[in-house]
């Protein structure tokens, strides 16, 4: 502890964590070193949130883990210091680190679902660390946990700890994980992308709770993220990282409003504009034909066996009518669990609809794969979210792209080799990549190969399931640009599924808003994003984080956010599923009667009991 005092002479404020020329690398068997973190200096003071921001591969997670004295398998601390409360944790043994971890420093992972043990009650897991370390008795820890449940605005704070992890919602579990981390009164919190996997409406609640509790507790925090908009809400200072080096660092207002380094500027540029009317990227009508390229009529679908009345055991989609015009992009938006991926799977034939029909060019398609002809299969291609699992790790790019060319005979006068090279050029990858395996590519490059495989079939419709969700802001922006260009050049239609409204609105001609398996609103992008709004659309629009300080407080104060915060998403047999979270709900009507379809003209429809005038207000 003497060391801390020495530093105190030099630097004001209580420094909780500090790195000095920190270097982390992977030592190869031949003795050479791959440098991951190349000399990083930053400090975290008491009561301060420092955001580490950068794309994947920038070393931000690796640096944040150094606060726990932990280097990922294969990596080791190769130089410099990481001082937690004045002690260099990079040189400590596991036995020396154990009393620090969970007590002096706590770690919040990205996925709460993976952090909690599903078969142990929540309270026991939240209070485990301080009780195990002997810093609190069980009773003290319980009291502390209750205090945190209240501070984090969790519902039923007295009893929520008695539940099992699967009995609370994702956003609640994320907050409970914060309670787990804070229960031992740590000096430093390390938060690794804690809201990245959440829906925007949930993200607001979680961010708000995190911010409040960090301020109240006066804890210091390292917040790792690639999302500048989130940083603007929660951080006091920002450290911008690229390739293991600090590119820019300073107070959040300085870095966001007056960024000086070109890399920070690029990060800012990659943020998509807020969803507003007038952004829709109206693509040309030259490819339009009379029949839509792909159409769903009255589709019901779900999982499990289908009962005698034609309803699946676990219904997911109810009465869906969505048409995709040729050469256009339809954005399907909704929270996780709303059925948007299921709809894409129904289109692709991977999940046969329980009732209703799919039409391709006006021709009825068989609901399952086996009943579709090879030509029909060729015309509808599916692109998966995770390129990591969508590409066979044992096949070279040449074979991954070559197979659909052979299978559907789409080489058209070219050799297979020429066609593969042409496809690689189309997705802006060097032709030499043909001989590589997927693991030799970066995340964005893999996603491009994933797209190229769909294009290899010369499809009419490409179903993109959250294709940019796993990518960093900059890489995602590049992929969207690529999609736009491909559409212009080939006239292919896209179904673009995402939970991110700003991505969809910058790109789609039409937007379909799904809620709990039903269409809440659909129409041209401009119309959907301007009044009248379905109450759920309004909630979504107001939940998209803006990269400016102070947005969070404003957004959390809107009536939509207040009404929408607590309710869980439930699929209902009748009535409007959004009833429980709707600020305009009419009790007695909305939950019992199916909402009527309000037509605003120009193909813009809203399913709601309120009138268009009321929804415009």
Tell me which residues in 245-274 interact with other proteins (CB under 8 A): 245-251, 254-255, 258, 260-263, 266
Q: Closest CB to other proteins among 378 and 499?
A: 378
**Widest CA span in the chain:** 79
Distance CA 271, CA 86 (A): 37
| Least gap, CB of 364 to other proteins (angstroms) | 18
Residues 330-349 that bind other proteins (CB under 8 A): 348-349
| Least gap, CB of 143 to other proteins (angstroms) | 34
| Least gap, CB of 112 to other proteins (angstroms) | 24
Mask for 108-147, x = binds other proteins (CB under 8 A): ----------------------------------------
In the set 31, 94, 308, 374, which binds other proteins (CB under 8 A)?
Answer: 374
Cβ-Cβ contacts under 8 Å for 159 (sequence gap 6 or more): none
**How many chain residues touch other proteins (CB under 8 A)?**
76
Q: Which stretch binds other proteins (CB under 8 A): 282-290, 387-395, 487-495, 500-508?
A: 387-395
Q: Closest CB to other proteins among 243 and 355?
A: 243
Q: Closest CB to other proteins among 436 and 488?
A: 436
Q: Which stretch binds other proteins (CB under 8 A): 42-50, 280-288, 509-517, 543-551?
A: 42-50
Dihedral Cα 212, 216, 220, 221, nearest 10 deg: -20
Mask for 445-474, x = binds other proteins (CB under 8 A): x-------x---x----------------x
Tell me, rounded to whole angstroms, the distance of Cα 10 from its chain centroid: 42
In the set 403, 436, 488, 548, which binds other proteins (CB under 8 A)?
Answer: 403
Q: Closest CB to other proteins among 453 and 581?
A: 453
Q: Closest CB to other proteins among 378 and 538?
A: 378
Q: Closest CB to other proteins among 22 and 544?
A: 22
Q: Does 38 bind other proteins (CB under 8 A)?
A: yes
Question: How many other C-beta atoms lie within 10 A of the C-beta of residue 21?
Answer: 11
| Least gap, CB of 441 to other proteins (angstroms) | 8
The answer to whether 217 and 225 have CB atoms below 8 angstroms apart is no
In the set 175, 328, 372, 398, which binds other proteins (CB under 8 A)?
Answer: 372
| CA distance from start to end of the chain | 60
Residues 67-86 that bind other proteins (CB under 8 A): 73-74
| Beta-bridge mates of residue 99 | none
Q: Does 18 bind other proteins (CB under 8 A)?
A: yes
Q: Does 604 bind other proteins (CB under 8 A)?
A: no
Q: Closest CB to other proteins among 286 and 375?
A: 375
Residues 515-554 that bind other proteins (CB under 8 A): none
What φ, ψ does residue 507 adopt, rounded to 5°? -135, -30
Q: Does 444 bind other proteins (CB under 8 A)?
A: yes
Distance CA 110, CA 194 (A): 4
Cβ-Cβ contacts under 8 Å for 460 (sequence gap 6 or more): 293, 294, 326, 360, 361, 379, 380, 492, 493
| Least gap, CB of 549 to other proteins (angstroms) | 15
Q: Closest CB to other proteins among 393 and 588?
A: 393
| Least gap, CB of 299 to other proteins (angstroms) | 18
Question: How many other C-beta atoms lie within 10 A of the C-beta of residue 345?
Answer: 19
| Least gap, CB of 323 to other proteins (angstroms) | 21
3-state helix, strand, coil in the chain (%, to 5): 40, 25, 40
Distance CA 617, CA 21 (A): 56
Provide the pairing of β-strand 597-599 with 605-607.
antiparallel
In the set 47, 315, 337, 443, which binds other proteins (CB under 8 A)?
Answer: 443
H helix or E strand, kind and range, residue 424: helix 416-426
Q: Closest CB to other proteins among 56 and 558?
A: 56
Angle, nearest 10°, between helix axes 138-151 and 170-182?
A: 130
Q: Does 43 bind other proteins (CB under 8 A)?
A: yes
Phi-psi region of 310 (alpha: psi -120 to 50; beta: other; left: phi over 0): left
Phi-psi region of 325 (alpha: psi -120 to 50; beta: other; left: phi over 0): beta
DSSP string, 362-416: TEEEPSSGGGS-HHHHHHEEEE-S-HHHHS-TTS-HHHHHHHHHHHHT--TTS-H
In the set 350, 414, 568, 593, which binds other proteins (CB under 8 A)?
Answer: 350
Q: Which stretch binds other proteins (CB under 8 A): 126-134, 223-231, 243-251, 529-537?
A: 243-251
What's the half-sphere exposure (Cβ side, CA atoms, 13 Å) at 514?
A: 31
Q: Closest CB to other proteins among 372 and 604?
A: 372
SS3 134: coil
In the set 145, 234, 475, 541, which binds other proteins (CB under 8 A)?
Answer: 475
Q: Does 419 bind other proteins (CB under 8 A)?
A: no
Distance CA 229, CA 211 (A): 14
Mask for 45-64, x = binds other proteins (CB under 8 A): x---------xxxx------
Q: Does 29 bind other proteins (CB under 8 A)?
A: yes
């Amino acid at each position: 502890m003497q060391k801390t005092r020495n530093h105190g002479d030099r630097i004001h404020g209580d420094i909780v964590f500090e790195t000095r020329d920190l270097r982390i690398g992977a030592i190869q068997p031949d003795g050479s070193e791959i440098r991951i973190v190349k000399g990083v200096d930053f400090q975290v003071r008491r009561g301060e949130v420092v955001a580490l921001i950068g794309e994947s591969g920038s070393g931000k997670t690796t640096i944040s883990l150094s606060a726990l004295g932990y280097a990922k398998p294969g990596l080791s601390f190769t130089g410099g210091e990481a001082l937690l409360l004045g002690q260099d944790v990079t040189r400590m043994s596991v036995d020396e680190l154990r009393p620090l971890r969970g007590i002096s420093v706590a770690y919040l992972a990205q996925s709460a679902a993976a952090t909690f043990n599903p078969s142990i009650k929540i309270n026991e897991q939240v209070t485990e660390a301080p009780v195990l370390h002997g810093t609190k008795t069980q009773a003290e820890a319980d009291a502390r946990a209750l205090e945190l449940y209240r501070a984090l605005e969790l519902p039923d704070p007295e009893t929520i700890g008695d539940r099992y992890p699967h009995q609370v919602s994702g956003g609640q579990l994320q907050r409970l994980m914060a309670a787990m981390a804070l229960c031992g009164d740590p000096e430093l919190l390390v938060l690794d992308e804690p809201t990245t996997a959440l829906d925007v409406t949930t993200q607001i609640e979680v961010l708000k709770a995190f911010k409040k509790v960090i301020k109240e507790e006066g804890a210091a925090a390292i917040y790792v993220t690639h999302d500048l908009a989130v940083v603007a809400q929660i951080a006091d200072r920002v450290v911008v990282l690229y390739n293991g080096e600090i590119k820019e660092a300073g107070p959040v207002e300085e870095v966001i409003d007056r960024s000086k380094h070109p890399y920070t500027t690029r990060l800012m540029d990659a943020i998509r504009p807020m969803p507003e009317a007038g952004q829709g990227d109206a693509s040309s009508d030259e490819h339009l034909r009379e029949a839509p390229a792909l159409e769903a009529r009255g589709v019901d679908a779900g999982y499990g066996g289908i009962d005698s009345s034609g309803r699946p055991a676990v219904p997911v989609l109810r009465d869906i009518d969505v048409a995709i015009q040729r050469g256009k992009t339809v954005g399907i938006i909704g929270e996780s669990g709303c059925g948007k991926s299921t709809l894409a799977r129904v289109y692709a034939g991977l999940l046969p609809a329980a009732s209703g029909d799919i039409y391709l060019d006006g021709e009825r398609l068989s609901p399952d794969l086996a009943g579709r002809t090879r030509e029909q299969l060729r015309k509808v291609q599916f692109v998966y979210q995770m390129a990591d699992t969508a590409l066979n790790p044992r096949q070279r790019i040449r074979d991954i792209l070559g197979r659909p060319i052979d299978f559907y005979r789409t080489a058209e006068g070219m050799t297979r080799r020429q066609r593969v090279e042409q496809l690689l050029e189309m997705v802006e990858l060097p032709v030499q990549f043909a001989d590589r395996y997927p693991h030799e590519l970066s995340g964005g490059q893999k996603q491009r190969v994933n797209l190229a495989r769909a294009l290899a079939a010369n499809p009419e419709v490409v179903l993109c399931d959250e294709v940019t969700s796993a990518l960093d802001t900059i890489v995602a922006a590049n992929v969207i640009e690529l999609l736009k260009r491909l559409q212009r050049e080939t006239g292919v239609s896209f179904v673009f599924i995402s939970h991110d409204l700003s991505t969809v609105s910058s790109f789609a001609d039409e937007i379909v808003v799904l809620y709990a398996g039903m269409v809440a609103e659909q129409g041209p992008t401009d119309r959907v994003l301007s009044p009248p709004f379905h109450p759920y659309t309004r909630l979504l629009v107001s939940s998209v984080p803006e990269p400016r300080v102070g947005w969070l407080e404003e957004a959390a104060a809107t009536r939509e956010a207040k009404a929408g915060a607590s309710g869980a998403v439930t699929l209902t047999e009748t009535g409007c599923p959004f009833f429980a979270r709707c600020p305009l709900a009419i009790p007695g009507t909305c939950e019992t009667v199916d909402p009527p379809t309000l037509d605003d003209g120009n193909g813009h429809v809203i399913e709601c009991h309120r009138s268009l005038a009321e929804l415009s207000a």
